[in-house]
Structure 1
Amino acid sequence: MAKFLNTSATNYYLEELIKSASERLVLISPFLKLNDRIKELLEDKNRLKIDVRIVYGKSELQPEEINWLKELTYIRTSFCKNLHAKCYLNEESCIITSLNLYEFSQINNNEMSVTFSRVDDPELYKDAYDEAQRIIRISDEIRISLEKISQGEASDLNVGTGANDTNQEKLTSSKLAKKLGLKTNDLLSKLADSGYLEVSDGKHKLTEAGKAQGGEFKYSKRFGAYFLWPEELNI
């Protein structure tokens, strides 16, 4: 039968739900912002080649987290406009909750949840599963990366037509890394060594020297933070 969960119980059951997934895992949450524990659990699912679907409505990932996520082959991400539902399920159980993914393992908020299983509540599980699949179907599947910018955003951001480089195309860090035959993290390290980026609290930040070279920091509500660089950047 369905079971009510308070804040601490929600955290416990959610971790167990993720760990016990052996065929599929669906995580539906408005905010895509992952803490270290969630990352550890998802990395394990990826190693086991479990099919993981994450549906979100707003990304708050930092560039380093985006690079981390794009390396996980078996995790697919989808963007759903106006998403407010929080639903986490595997092939055997489901949790409907007020808990966002970014609040996982935190006890500062007061949360309420209900969990139920496919065996004990087959109709309830089927209804939740079907609705989760509907949300997935209406979502836009996205392979999250620093180079993912919609056409409208690219126009708004003047990619390729920056005020300081009207004749020089600007590339995201990942595209520039690909052009140079580097991994994105290696390029970010080189940019930091060149003084164009600095690392603060584990996050890269654009320096004045980087700005002088034509570097730009951008933020998209849909894809998070990223950098743009002149195509012929001297590093």
Structure 2
Amino acid sequence: MAKFLNTSATTYYLEELIKHSSERLYLISPYLKLNDRIKELLEDKNRMKIDIRIVYGKSELQPAEASWLKTLDYVRTSYCQNLHAKCYISESACIITSLNLYEFSQINNNEMGILLTRLNDTEVYRDAYEEATRIIRISEEVKISLDVVNKSPETNTPPETHSHQGLTTSKLAEKWGMNRAECNQKLCEAGLQELNGKNYFLTEKGKQSGASVKKGQYGYFIVWSADLTL
């Protein structure tokens, strides 16, 4: 029988689901920023050579997550456009929840979810598993690379000799010791960018600060000066 989960219960059973997986593990979440405990469990499963698939739905994978994922040989990461589902499933259990695989959500948000098992909730588990595999099929696998070299388009100068190496908003937030949402808010309050709908746009003041707009694999994003202060 399905079990209702609140925020703390979701976190607990998610850890249990990962811990007890022995064949496969699918983690589907729009936002991806893992806490140390989840990373430790996934590293153990990677050593056991279990098939692990992580699907996320935002265009920018945070540098810290990319660096960590690069070290795992048996974890495949995919990007799914317009992903909003949060589903964590192994060969024996499944959690469907509002909780993103995001450290901030696990600590600060009020979440709900349900726990299903293959043994006791056979039909629902099967439907959830089939939908999870469909999402994986339509997702675009991401090759995690740390070989990123930033060069000035005007001078072709390597970053170590250039005084304004660019930082994404996520990297800037990490440098300032805050989450991305807080960083975006501060940048808006400073008049460096503005929110229009769901997207942030660079202002004239932002351009004067040394920021620029770049085109990535999944769309445009702002690159800020590493020397930026508020």
Q: Which residue of 1 aligns with 2:102?
A: 102
Rounded to whole Å, the distance in 1 between the matches of 2:36 and 2:131 is 29
Q: Is 1:163 aligned to residue 154 of structure 2?
A: yes
Give the secondary-structure state (helix, strand or coil) at the position aligned to 1:55: strand
Specify every segment of 5 or more residues in structure 1 that has no aligned partner in the other structure, as ranges: 149-158, 174-190, 205-215, 227-235
Instruction: Give runs of aligned pairs for residues 2-151 of structure 1, distance below 5 A.
Output: 2-58=2-58, 61-103=61-103, 106-147=106-147
Q: Which has the bigger relative contact order, CA under 8 A and spacing at least 6? A: 1
- Give the AA of the match of 2:43: E
Shift of 1:3: 1.0
On the 8 A contact 2:99/2:105 being kept in 1, the answer is no
Shift of 1:146: 3.6
Identity across the alignment (%): 64
Shift of 1:24: 0.4
Q: TM-score, normalised by structure 1?
A: 0.65
Shift of 1:142: 1.3
Change (3 A) 1:105 1:21: farther
More off after superposition, 15-24 vs 37-46:
37-46
Shift of 1:36: 1.6
Rounded to whole Å, the distance in 2 between the matches of 1:81 and 1:27 is 16
Specify every segment of 5 or more residues in structure 2 that has no aligned partner in the other structure, as ranges: 177-211, 224-230
Root mean square deviation, CA, Å: 3.8
Rounded to whole Å, the distance in 2 between the matches of 1:124 and 1:145 is 37
Rounded to whole Å, the distance in 2 between the matches of 1:111 and 1:219 is 34
Q: TM-score, normalised by structure 2?
A: 0.66
Number of aligned residue pairs: give it: 183
Rounded to whole Å, the distance in 2 between the matches of 1:200 and 1:138 is 31
